[in-house]
């Protein structure tokens, strides 16, 4: 196995196209060709975690939070210490962050499992923009060669199906100047020709390859190739989750369940904290710092909002709206997903040794 193989598996678990636009996910440090026998999973790549990776002989680290977030203008021990040290020691670093948050079975689903939420849906649905539709107009006799070239360049893939397309028929018109060399009809005349409309789904990143391949076999001097961006909202994917409890439970009971599952002894509670017996029927979760989407939770009928951290004024507003807000600490709401990720990796690559970083800790302690 090499780094690229593991990146592909991580991308299957949490497609990078699901990440927020502002995020920086994927392989951030390392050579895709380098061999990997062991990977270390953590929330933050710190000096202690990197030292642990060296000690346990891990060739790759999956650090949930990006080790490179803002633009890096230089890689030195002072300017980018973790990036410098990881590269120097030949350790690849991959980040999943909001891609894992939005993915099915990812961070927010694991957090929703703590409350045993049913009929769940995302608070902020994912919007994928990594696909487009390529439309080509061509004479019928070109159909086989043009479609074949487009498919070979990456078009026409839908899930487990290849060579997917739609074909329509119509009439195209044109007027070629005296300098033109039309494949049908004559220059200097207004012409009409029977044509085929070929439509194919394609990855946005392969559009130029597909256009180049089509032009290479198309008989027209100026083939018409249209590209339409597709905005896709995959069902069930996105940030946060809201759902109903299998059986309504008291706030007090749910807080105990959260503490036990996340391994925390204290939580922050905003809202109707004095009413510990309050019954909760619909709840929402959002890992990390996700206070800004509490309104979506309230609109969905949630009376409990479980998150990592929340801004002061958002917590006030949520409490005023009648919600109970439970904050467990930023990374405490995320770390629980690492065990599930380890299981998913092991299931897909049984020979890969997967370990959870023991030195990975939330930077805050309650004294």
3-state SS of 242-269?
A: EEEEEEEEEHHHHHHHHHHHHCCCCCEE
Which of 197, 232, 267 represents a domain boundary (last residue)?
A: 232
Average pLDDT over every residue of 234-257? 92
- Same domain? For 350 and 207 the reply is no
Q: What is the dihedral of CA 214, 216, 222, 226, to 10 degrees?
A: 20
Distance of CA 137 to the CA centre of its chain: 34
C-alpha distances in angstroms, 5 versus 158, 281, 343, 353, 356?
22, 43, 17, 14, 20
* pLDDT at residue 9 greater than cutoff 90: yes
Q: How many domains does the chain have?
A: 3
Q: Give the pLDDT of residue 190.
A: 83
Residue 226 lies in a domain: yes
Q: Give the pLDDT of residue 274.
A: 61
Rounded distance between C-alpha atoms, residue 59 and residue 367, angstroms: 36
Other Cβ atoms closer than 10 A to 322: 10
- Same domain? For 121 and 162 the reply is no
Return the exposure string of 164-192: e unless at least 16 CB atoms fall within 10 Å of the residue's CB, then b: ebeeeeeebebebeeeeebeebeeeeeee
- Same domain? For 341 and 192 the reply is no
Residue 364 lies in a domain: no
pLDDT digits (tens, 9 = 90+) for 57-105: 999 999 999 999 888 888 999 989 999 999 999 999 999 999 999 999 9
**CATH number, domain at 266?**
3.40.1390.30
pLDDT digits (tens, 9 = 90+) for 164-201: 999 999 998 878 887 888 777 777 778 788 899 999 99
Rounded distance between C-alpha atoms, residue 285 and residue 124, angstroms: 11
* pLDDT at residue 54 greater than cutoff 70: yes
pLDDT class of 6 with cuts at 50, 70, 90: very high
Average pLDDT over every residue of 262-274? 87
Residues β-bridged to residue 325: 270, 305
Rounded distance between C-alpha atoms, residue 280 and residue 252, angstroms: 10
pLDDT class of 233 with cuts at 50, 70, 90: low
Q: Comparing 140 with 277, which gets the higher pLDDT? A: 140
- Same domain? For 217 and 247 the reply is no
- Same domain? For 166 and 243 the reply is no
Is the CB of residue 359 less than 8 Å from the CB of residue 51?
yes
Residue 363 lies in a domain: no
- Same domain? For 78 and 144 the reply is no
Q: Which domain holds residue 197?
A: 128-232
pLDDT class of 273 with cuts at 50, 70, 90: low
Residue 221 lies in a domain: yes
Q: Give the pLDDT of residue 366.
A: 78
**CATH number, domain at 225?**
3.30.70.120
End-to-end CA distance of the chain: 44
- Same domain? For 142 and 80 the reply is no
pTM, two decimal places: 0.77
DSSP H/E element including 131: strand 128-138
Q: Give the pLDDT of residue 235.
A: 75
326 conformational bin, left if phi > 0, alpha if psi -120 to 50, beta if neither:
beta
Residue 365 lies in a domain: no
- Same domain? For 25 and 75 the reply is yes
Average pLDDT over every residue of 39-50? 97
- Same domain? For 70 and 193 the reply is no
Please identify which residue in the block is written with the tokens 């990592």. Answer: 308
Is the CB of residue 94 less than 8 Å from the CB of residue 74?
no
Rounded distance between C-alpha atoms, residue 19 and residue 223, angstroms: 35
Which of 232, 256, 286 represents a domain boundary (last residue)?
A: 232
- Same domain? For 226 and 139 the reply is yes
Other Cβ atoms closer than 10 A to 280: 18
- Same domain? For 8 and 59 the reply is yes
Q: Give the pLDDT of residue 187.
A: 79
* pLDDT at residue 277 greater than cutoff 80: no
Which of 181, 204, 232 represents a domain boundary (last residue)?
A: 232
- Same domain? For 177 and 262 the reply is no
pLDDT class of 351 with cuts at 50, 70, 90: very high
Residue 265 lies in a domain: yes
Q: What are phi and psi of 111, to 5 degrees?
A: -65, -40
Contacts of 281 (CB under 8 A, 6+ apart): 244, 245, 248, 303
Is the CB of residue 213 less than 8 Å from the CB of residue 116?
no
Residue 348 lies in a domain: yes
Residue 157 lies in a domain: yes
Is the CB of residue 121 less than 8 Å from the CB of residue 236?
yes
């Amino acid at each position: 196995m090499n780094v690229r193989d593991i990146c592909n598996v991580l991308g299957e678990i949490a497609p990078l196209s699901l990440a927020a636009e502002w995020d920086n996910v994927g392989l951030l440090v390392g050579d895709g060709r380098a061999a990997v026998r062991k990977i270390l999973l953590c929330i933050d790549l710190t000096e202690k975690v990197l030292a642990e990776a060296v000690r346990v002989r891990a060739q790759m680290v999956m650090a949930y939070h990006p080790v490179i977030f803002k633009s890096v203008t230089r890689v030195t021990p002072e300017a980018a210490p973790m990036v410098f040290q990881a590269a120097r020691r030949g350790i690849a670093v991959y980040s999943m962050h909001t891609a894992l948050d939005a993915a099915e079975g990812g961070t927010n689903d694991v957090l929703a499992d703590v409350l045993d939420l049913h009929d769940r849906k995302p608070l902020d649905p994912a919007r994928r923009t990594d696909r487009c539709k390529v439309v080509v107009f061509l004479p019928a006799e070109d159909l086989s060669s043009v479609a074949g070239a487009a498919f070979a360049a990456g078009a026409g893939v839908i899930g487990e199906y290849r060579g997917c397309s739609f074909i329509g028929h119509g009439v195209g018109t044109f007027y070629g100047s005296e300098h033109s060399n039309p494949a049908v009809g004559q220059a200097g005349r207004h012409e009409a020709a029977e044509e085929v409309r070929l439509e194919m789904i394609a990855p946005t990143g392969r559009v130029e390859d597909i256009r180049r391949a089509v032009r290479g076999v198309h008989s027209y001097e100026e083939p018409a190739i249209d590209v339409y961006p597709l905005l896709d909202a995959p069902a069930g994917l996105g940030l946060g989750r809201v759902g109903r409890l299998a059986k309504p439970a008291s706030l007090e009971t749910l807080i105990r369940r959260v503490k036990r599952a996340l391994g925390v002894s204290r939580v922050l509670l905003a809202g109707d904290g004095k009413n510990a017996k309050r019954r909760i029927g619909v709840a929402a979760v959002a890992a990390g710092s996700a206070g800004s989407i509490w309104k979506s939770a309230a609109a969905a009928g949630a009376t409990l909002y479980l998150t990592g951290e929340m801004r002061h004024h958002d917590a006030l507003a949520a409490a005023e709206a009648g919600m109970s807000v439970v904050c467990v600490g930023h990374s405490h709401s995320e770390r629980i997903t690492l065990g599930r990720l380890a299981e998913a990796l092991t299931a897909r690559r049984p020979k890969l040794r997967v370990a959870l970083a023991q030195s990975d800790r939330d930077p805050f302690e309650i004294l």
